[in-house]
Amino acid sequence: MTNRPITEDDLHGYVDRVLEPERQAEVESYLEAHPDVARRVAGFSSQRDLLRAALAPIADEPLPPELNLSRIIENRQRRRTPAWWAIAAMLLVSVGGLGGWIVRGEMQALGAPGGLAALTQEAAYSYNVYAPDRVRPVEIRASDATELVHWASSRLHRPVKVPDLAASGYRLMGGRVVATAHGPAAMFMYDDDHGERLVVLTRPMTSADQNAPMTAGSQGDVGGLSWANGGVGYSLVGRADPESLRPVANEIRRQAQAI
């Protein structure tokens, strides 16, 4: 028998039957000596039994078809299969990475070659390809952030910082180096508690828009904000109204400038 005093927590542990056997016995003898407390604890126990009995039938009900997990998994796979645009985007990006000549024509139509509009589009491509990926959305996970920074910095030939968006409610999932028509870019992916994902793409600006104010843009239903500072471009995109991302974008810009 130890001499540790019995606490309120012990009493709940006793009611929930989670104490070590020895402690359980100590609480028992305490209760024998303290009928008032014993009465209270007995009340807690009977209310626990009552709640469990009252709610037990719900867990025995047959599941409706909407809650059939195999079906949910299947539906999701079916929805994802005709993602021809994602495949097209991937081709476009990789062809761009090899030569850039097919893509260039398109980019010129969008604005200065390699400018903000192109950056936004590249970020949207990355979002479309990687954000719906449930197997491997990122190459390097947040737990290996140092390795990610090292990889991105060496491929972009400049120090890359991973924005910390915790204050905005987004956790870093990880990232990878991706191909764009204008060379390698670093992609970082974030998600919030509801699983909403955001992508930040950053790369050196090749010619146009070495410095450019924050501009909203979208590509299909993916949109966001892009800007450039001192020759480095940033684009933040998600499946949301671009304007709603402005506070997050401001935070990224603030962190990037604070070197």
Window of 63-71, 100-108, 153-161, 233-241 that interacts with other proteins by CB under 8 A: 63-71
Q: Is 60 in the site for other proteins (CB under 8 A)?
A: yes
Q: Among 1, 2, 3, 9, which residue sits at the site for other proteins (rule: CB under 8 A)?
A: 9
The residue type at 154: S
Q: Among 1, 33, 109, 135, which residue sits at the site for other proteins (rule: CB under 8 A)?
A: 135
Q: How far is the CB of 10 from other proteins (least distance, A)?
A: 8
Window of 118-126, 133-141, 146-154, 233-241 that interacts with other proteins by CB under 8 A: 133-141
Q: How far is the CB of 82 from other proteins (least distance, A)?
A: 17
- Write the interaction track for other proteins spanning residues 22-51; mark x where CB under 8 A is met and - where it is not: ---------------x--x--xx--xx-xx
Nearer to other proteins, 63 or 109 (CB): 63
Q: Is 221 in the site for other proteins (CB under 8 A)?
A: no
Window of 67-75, 104-112, 150-158, 218-226 that interacts with other proteins by CB under 8 A: 67-75
Q: Is 81 in the site for other proteins (CB under 8 A)?
A: no
Q: Phi, psi at residue 178, to the nearest 5°?
A: -120, 160
Nearer to other proteins, 25 or 91 (CB): 25
- In order of 49, 65, 83, 141, the CA distances from 190 in angstroms are 43, 32, 22, 11
Give buried/exposed letters for 37-49 (b at 16+ CB in 10 A, else e).
ebeebeeeeeeee
Residues 144-183 that bind other proteins (CB under 8 A): 173
SS (H, E, C) the chain: CCCCCCCHHHHHHHHCCCCCHHHHHHHHHHHHHCHHHHHHHHHHHHHHHHHHHHHHHHHHCCCCHHHCHHHHHHHHHHHHCCCHHHHHHHHHHHHHHHCCHHHHHHHHHHCCCCCHHHHHHHHHHHHHHHCCCCCCCCCEEHHHHHHHHHHHHHHHCCCCCCCCCHHHCCEEEEEEEEEECCEEEEEEEEECCCCCEEEEEEEECCCCCCCEEEEEEEECCEEEEEEEECCEEEEEEECCCHHHHHHHHHHHHHHHHCC
Q: Among 53, 167, 258, 259, which residue sits at the site for other proteins (rule: CB under 8 A)?
A: 53
Nearer to other proteins, 15 or 118 (CB): 15
Nearer to other proteins, 33 or 59 (CB): 59
Binding footprint of other proteins on the chain (CB under 8 A): 6-9, 11-12, 15-16, 18, 37, 40, 43-44, 47-48, 50-55, 57-61, 63-64, 66-67, 69-70, 72-73, 76, 132, 134-137, 173, 191, 193-195
